[in-house]
Structure 1
Amino acid sequence: MKRLLSCMAMLFSMACSAFSAHAAITMNTSVQYQIKNVNSGLVLGIAGASQAAGSNVVQWADNGTADHLWHFMPMGNGQYNIENMLTHQVLGVASAGTADGAQIVQWADNGTTDHLWTVTQAASGNFLIQNVNSGKYLEVFQASNLNTATIDQWALTGCTCQEWQLVNTKTSPYPAPRTVSGDGIFVHDPYMLRDAGGKYWLYGSHQTLATSTDLNTFTPYTNCTTTQMGGYAPNCPPIGPDFSSWSGLQTPKGWNSGANTDIWAPSLMLVNGTYYQYYSIPYLPSSGAEAVIGLATSSAPQGPWTDRGFVTKSWTSTTTPPAGFTTTTDNAIDPAPFTDASGNWWMAWGSWTDGTHLMQLNPATGLKSTTNTTVTTIARRGSPTSAEEGPFIYYYNGFYYYFAPINACCSSTSPYRTIVGRSASVTGPYVDRGGVALTAGGGTILLSTHGNIIGPGGGSVFSDAGNNNRPTFVYHYYDGNNNGRPTLGINPLGFTSDGWPYVMAN
């Protein structure tokens, strides 16, 4: 009744209108928008331009601040997450409420359905923004015309306080990746290092090994023996030939028409002249998270490699595990070794729905420590369809920065994106910029789909010695201009005054 009376009272001031909604529209992901209320003429922003998760979404006069800019990130089926370009949190409903009047807030992109929205066009030409979880519509509370008026959700009433103009700023939400070329740029889960001679080495899933002298043109590496090439000739895989310890892990072998074992997400450390390559192998055929993480060493970035054994194994299938496996809840994929500020060795890995994890390594063997056997879960999201994998930890200026992709990967419509958190302690707790723990679904968006850069993720960070050790983010994306082919992305990282990373133009 209160809502009906409010609308009737403003009937002659054009605050209410009759309209019929059109079908959902497709938003342009390559630009930032201002979301302007038709009734008040004010734009959506964050109360006090606060970084805190849970801050109210309000309306305000357009003053050019970044909290008034929004990016529509596709989630499939015509649904979007709506990212604030100051805080890199998403538009949601407080406590995932479904009632009329529930407050609209910003929160970490944790995969809940109250963060999903559809956009439809009214007969007036204006837009309606509907929450997928509640079915209610974004509106200005009590059709207020005041700065700082809060935003809530309500069933469709015909009030123009529920209608919005989407103002295209014609500005990209993120800088473009570095322009790269060559047959070596088509990669999943890239890891990069620069050797003492100034050559860049690129490693990736599915037998990718490429080099570059300028960080622009990447060529598959071919200067190895026929034995090392195995069935992958004329190119050299990251490890070749297959180790005998891999026998039985994939039946048939998973790559190159059965000629090679398929290794995933190799990641390296260089310590005292020795290259330590950590890699994962999915057990095939498989019905779940069955995999191993192994270690190989070499005196050269291209090998030949010596098998140093398995670091960890996983088996979540209900079937009886093979010899050497025990039943686990994690997924032994995507290893990421690193050293902490005191020189201790660690490895992050995993894992999808079970979260991502951390273990200490023994520097004498490169394998799991026998004195500290604790496994720490450092991040977790709750939904099987919006989970997390591929962690990478990078120490910089007193913090351990955690990078990981979330959502489903590996298609030309992938909603994959990269989030970041940090901790002053290597074992955590890791939190995002808004204060949400990564174990509670936290994560500040670092990079998401924009234009033809679809599903950026699978990333790692290296200190580019060719550019004053600048932290550089290396990732893959699905190129919307090339049939969604996985492609190398490179962007340097900058840091805010309070120490949070962001992608920069090259």
Structure 2
Amino acid sequence: MKTAETAMPLAQELLPLPSGAGQGPSSWGARHAHDPTVVQDDDGTYYMFSTDAVANSKDIPAGVHIRTSTDLVQWKYQGTAFDGVPEAAATWSGAQGLWAPDVVRWPGGGWHMYYSASTFGSNTSAIGLAVAPSPNGPWEDRGLVVATRKGEHSQNAIDAAVAFDADGNPWLTYGSFFSGIYILPLDPGSGLPKVAGDLGSVIACRPRSVEGAVEGAFILRSPQDGRYILFTSYDSLFSTYNVRVAVADHITGPYRDFRGIEMTDVDAPPAAVGTKVLGSYQFDGGTAWLGPGHNSVLTQKGPDGSDEHFVVHHVRFAAEPSQHVVQVRRLFFTAAGWPVISPQPFAGLRSEAVPAPAEVAGTWQVLRFDPETTDIAPAVRMDLECVEPRSAEFRGRPAAVRLRPTGPDREPGTEIDAVVFGSWDWSRNRPALSFSGIDQRGVAWSGTREGLL
């Protein structure tokens, strides 16, 4: 890697910059990072790998951008993994930069990076493999893993991600517009396809009426019930991105959403497929966030020794959509086992410590992620009561609850299978109690409590 840089304070990263301001890598922090993945090295350092955003500028290097952090909050640009695009990938695709790297600790030792090389709107694309003894490198290219060509294949070999099944076997997911998301088994030793030339089988796709708009897949095995959770991003990365989830008993699917619809169902209404867990939104007095998507999930040991999970994704500023930034959010699981995402970007566990005990019932700023629209969801002030337990108090640890919106304008009978947890209220600049959950219709809700402090 090359050129260590100075991180921008997070508070500044969460506000739009004037046009033309702070365009050099030294000022980036978590800005200008698309399609992120984050891993933690043995010394505790976090490494973020991302698409070569703005790499078309002669002043911005290509070759997988790398940032580091000690706390998942402040990020420091470190340079690139490669000097440009590796030869085999460049020859196949004509790419000037690399997209959507996924980095995983390999069971046999060392680290594997799966990167994508393509040009926008084309499925003449390739996924390459590089290996290194640590996330810090040096990265050694091992050539192409999957390659597709316009006019020859329906698949698009981009957006690679690796998941391990219950037996520890590695699987590669990839794909996007064109014919959807595919999965194929990898050789546990080499990390290459078990069968040379295998393009895999489809696990998610969308109809032509929406241009097949699905990409950025990531699979996580549920810590609660062992099911496989498929995360995907729907619609346009420029404006309408939103994160959807589905689950399966087997890593190869079929993946079904909350309502039981398969992610390969192209006859169902396009917006009805997949359980939408994160979309564009704005809290009262806060930044309007546009098109969150292309997420990965970081899993690590928490302070009590149990696994904790973080969703890592990019998002745009609605006030200036050309600007984007990476955000890290805590990921929880409801009593029914569905993944839900914090409405507030992660600020560090100490910053998010809420004085306990704290009453759950009360007045909240609430987001409802309607799957039928890609509009910015505004936070609505509403009262929530606890159905189970009836007098719930937050006592410092995430807790499963069942919530009911109250008031004359609320849809009767709505109950939300939710998790309450400590967070940081970025609009009010203070610790807060937040919740995320899914109602009985499969609609995701999130919110932050008013008036705790």
Q: TM-score range with shorter-chain normalisation? A: 0.5 to 0.7
Which residue, out of 16, 39, 43, partners 1:197?
Answer: 43
Report the CA distance between 1:499 and its aligned residue.
0.4
* Residue in 1 that maps onto 2:82: 239
Bigger fraction of residues in helix: 1
Q: Deviations over 1:406-463 (max 9, x none)?
A: 00112xxx01100000111111110001110011152000101102110000111110
Amino acid at match of 2:40: R
Q: Is 1:503 aligned with 2:323?
A: no
Q: Do the aligned partners of residues 466 and 249 (structure 1) sit closer, same or farther apart at CA in structure 2, a change above 3 Å counting? A: farther
8 A Cα contact 1:399 1:425, kept in partner: yes
Which residue, out of 411, 419, 422, partners 2:244?
Answer: 419
Q: Is 1:210 aligned with 2:67?
A: yes
Q: Is 1:368 aligned with 2:203?
A: no
* Residue in 2 that maps onto 1:185: 30
Report the CA distance between 1:353 and its aligned residue.
3.1
Which residue, out of 101, 113, 117, partners 1:281?
Answer: 117
Q: Is 1:314 aligned with 2:148?
A: yes
8 A Cα contact 2:205 2:212, kept in partner: no
Amino acid at match of 1:408: S
8 A Cα contact 1:192 1:462, kept in partner: yes
Tell me how large the CA RMSD over aligned residues is.
Answer: 2.2
* Residue in 1 that maps onto 2:443: none
Which residue, out of 94, 98, 106, partners 1:263?
Answer: 98
Which residue, out of 141, 152, 172, partners 1:347?
Answer: 172
* Residue in 1 that maps onto 2:394: none
Report the CA distance between 1:396 and its aligned residue.
1.7
Q: Distance in 2 between matches of 1:248 and 1:386?
A: 27
Q: Is 1:402 aligned with 2:230?
A: yes
Secondary structure in structure 2 of the residue aligned to 1:296: strand
Amino acid at match of 2:235: N
* Residue in 2 that maps onto 1:358: 183
Report the CA distance between 1:483 and its aligned residue.
4.7
8 A Cα contact 1:276 1:295, kept in partner: yes
Q: Distance in 2 between matches of 1:349 and 1:310?
A: 14
Q: Do the aligned partners of residues 310 and 180 (structure 1) sit closer, same or farther apart at CA in structure 2, a change above 3 Å counting? A: farther
Which residue, out of 62, 82, 91, partners 1:248?
Answer: 91
Amino acid at match of 1:444: T
Q: Do the aligned partners of residues 482 and 372 (structure 1) sit closer, same or farther apart at CA in structure 2, a change above 3 Å counting? A: closer
Q: Deviations over 1:444-492 (max 9, x none)?
A: 0010110211000011111033554311111000012455411111111
Amino acid at match of 2:289: I
Which residue, out of 289, 293, 299, partners 1:457?
Answer: 293
* Unmatched segments (≥5 aa) in structure 2: 1-9, 14-26, 53-63, 267-272, 283-287, 345-422, 424-453
With a CA cutoff of 8 Å and minimum separation of 6, indicate the structure with the bigger relative contact order: 1
Q: Is 1:390 aligned with 2:216?
A: yes
Q: Do the aligned partners of residues 426 and 184 (structure 1) sit closer, same or farther apart at CA in structure 2, a change above 3 Å counting? A: same
8 A Cα contact 2:229 2:248, kept in partner: yes
Q: Do the aligned partners of residues 215 and 301 (structure 1) sit closer, same or farther apart at CA in structure 2, a change above 3 Å counting? A: same
Q: Distance in 2 between matches of 1:464 and 1:364?
A: 24
Bigger fraction of residues in strand: 2
Amino acid at match of 1:473: V
Q: Distance in 1 between matches of 2:309 and 2:321?
A: 30
Amino acid at match of 1:403: F
Q: Distance in 2 between matches of 1:265 and 1:238?
A: 13
Q: Deviations over 1:348-394 (max 9, x none)?
A: 00021311000000112111112995722101110344610111001
Secondary structure in structure 2 of the residue aligned to 1:415: coil
Secondary structure in structure 2 of the residue aligned to 1:485: strand
Q: Do the aligned partners of residues 242 and 331 (structure 1) sit closer, same or farther apart at CA in structure 2, a change above 3 Å counting? A: closer
* Residue in 2 that maps onto 1:380: 205
Q: Deviations over 1:302-327 (max 9, x none)?
A: 2111111211111124xxxxxxxxx1
Q: Do the aligned partners of residues 267 and 180 (structure 1) sit closer, same or farther apart at CA in structure 2, a change above 3 Å counting? A: farther
Report the CA distance between 1:330 and its aligned residue.
0.5
Scaled by the length of structure 2, the TM-score of the pair is 0.61
8 A Cα contact 1:386 1:408, kept in partner: no
Secondary structure in structure 1 of the residue aligned to 2:80: coil
Secondary structure in structure 2 of the residue aligned to 1:189: strand
8 A Cα contact 2:204 2:263, kept in partner: yes
8 A Cα contact 1:337 1:348, kept in partner: yes
Q: Distance in 1 between matches of 2:103 and 2:210?
A: 29
Q: Distance in 2 between matches of 1:296 and 1:496?
A: 37
8 A Cα contact 2:183 2:252, kept in partner: yes
Amino acid at match of 1:463: T
8 A Cα contact 1:381 1:440, kept in partner: yes
Q: Do the aligned partners of residues 466 and 205 (structure 1) sit closer, same or farther apart at CA in structure 2, a change above 3 Å counting? A: farther
Percent sequence identity over matched residues? 30
Q: Do the aligned partners of residues 416 and 241 (structure 1) sit closer, same or farther apart at CA in structure 2, a change above 3 Å counting? A: closer
Amino acid at match of 1:458: H
8 A Cα contact 1:385 1:408, kept in partner: no
Amino acid at match of 2:264: T
Secondary structure in structure 1 of the residue aligned to 2:29: helix
Q: Deviations over 1:37-64 (max 9, x none)?
A: xxxxxxxxxxxxxxxxxxxxxxxxxxxx
Q: Distance in 1 between matches of 2:319 and 2:39?
A: 28
Q: Do the aligned partners of residues 484 and 288 (structure 1) sit closer, same or farther apart at CA in structure 2, a change above 3 Å counting? A: closer
8 A Cα contact 2:92 2:124, kept in partner: no
Secondary structure in structure 2 of the residue aligned to 1:497: coil
